[in-house]
Structure 1
Amino acid sequence: MARKKKNSNEEMSFLDHLEELRWHLIRSVLAIVIIGVVAYFFKELIFNKILFGPKDPNFVTYRAFCHLSQKLGLDDSFCITEIPFIVQSRTMAGQFSAAIWTSVWAGVIIGFPYVLFQLWKFISPGLYEKEKRNSKGFIFIASFLFFLGVLFGYYIIAPLSINFLGNYSVSDQVQNNIDLDSYISIVRSSVISCGVVFELPILVFFLTKIGLITPEGLRSYRKFAVVIVLILSAIITPPDIASQIVVSIPILILYEVSIYISGFVLKKEKKEEERLKQEKNLTKTDNE
């Protein structure tokens, strides 16, 4: 459905679309910059409490795993007493650069709902009323899933990765002195990637709407999905079964939820088609 200009019945041209998209992008970038500036003034809190949190042996995730292993009667291998590496900055502007880019990424994460809102404002005028009704709650659900993924990445993926990589050694002759950018990259990639992965149900919803996937197709590829998830879990977690299971379960649950969503979308569309068909038959009967 073509867009309409405000206070006019004329359809927007391609250049008008580009101009409107430009302003939505400007607003999104401006919001990210403003949030990033505010985050910069809280850099000590962000670095000391948040970014370096998973480096502390008393981090909540390590304590939870230790308590769980003791409850299950396992050994103390899940009880972290030391993470033997130091974080260093080897360039003159290293810490300043890290503070700037961390503030920007904080703006991206915190401003994610507003960016989605701007995206929705650009897309929604081109949708039919039925499509708008079916997409109610899009911003809230997509934001909720994103932040849920961010929390999962921060409290599960990042601590497991930092603990494993920080303790890994090929020789006693090598000390782990981790560069600041490298450490931040591990935390950032864990958080952002999980936030994106948790958007899988939203992606499946829209792919089902346009007919690219079906629940039957998702079920038929389930066994391949399980293998892929287990491989990814083995790559991003320490080489033990328990850690891989902890990471795999939420992703597999998301996959199953996506199958249900795909089926729900098709079922709803089928009902809508039957309703329209009945209305058409009734109209035809009345005309006869």
Structure 2
Amino acid sequence: MATPPLPGEIDFTNLPDLAVLGQTLFKRVPIGAIVVRLSDSQIILRNPAFRHIANDDITTVSSLLDTCCVDPTQREQIHQQITQAKSRADKEETSEMPELVLDLKGTDGRVRIVQHYALLFHKMDIAIGIFRDISDIKRKYRALQKEAFTDELTGVGNRRGLMERWNEEMEDDPNQVIGFLMIDLDQFKPINDTYGHAIGDHVLQSLARRLRKGVRKSDYVARLGGDEFGILLPNIQSRTMLDTIRNKLLVSLKRPVITNTLKLNLSGSIGGGLYPEDGQDLPAIMVHADHSMYSTKKSIPARKRSKKHRVTARLPVA
């Protein structure tokens, strides 16, 4: 008498012919799948779902990666995985390649975000590759992430986004030099008190755009709260470069903001810090930059500050 299967085990006696079942699954499953000959990397079998990822002109794994994978780092990662998996042929009957997310460009020009996994059967000289299109999931996640990390008023980053970007930079290259600038608008409160928050909001939006245009695309501008902004500058060359950017932004902040019938003259105070020289993490760098900023404020004579911070001149009504 046959022993009944344990919970979680498959009862093979009740399954249809496994060859037929395997063929049916291979054809019908809505996930791209290929069978590859290990000796020459030829794609010897592909299912219909894979044709949404790459067409039949792609005949080898190498051509798939070189033609379709748009990210050089991802190409290098998967080539390394293949080499490592093949090196285990003398020790294991089967080996696997861990999950890896790839950006693959199809013949239709669309870039699909694909989750890849592979299992190698060394004695059979074949590998099975699985390609799951997760584009919609990833794009929805990125949209939610962008919303969570973006300041609603100005469109630049917020504190959470700043910390997330810092963490990404640390993961990519913890040995790089990173600059940080802390920016505070001088005497911004009188604008809100005199002309209302709508005008104040317009000023903040205008100055956020200036800050973003005044730095590199790789730099990250964030509104930290109120009239305070921060800028993260990865892979900065030196403190001299940080000071050059700081001075450039100070000039930019002095340009008047035009809104309705008002010409608003402002200025800003900017302090800077460098990782790792001024601190070993982002909070420490921010504290250093904040102290530097307030030292700059105190160094400006009161009479000069008062003159510089006159905030408005009324324009003629058109």
The TM-score normalised by the length of structure 1 is 0.30
Greater C-alpha radius of gyration: 2
The TM-score normalised by the length of structure 2 is 0.28
Higher relative contact order (CA 8 A, sep 6+): 1
Instruction: Identify, as 1 or 2, the structure richer in strand.
Output: 2
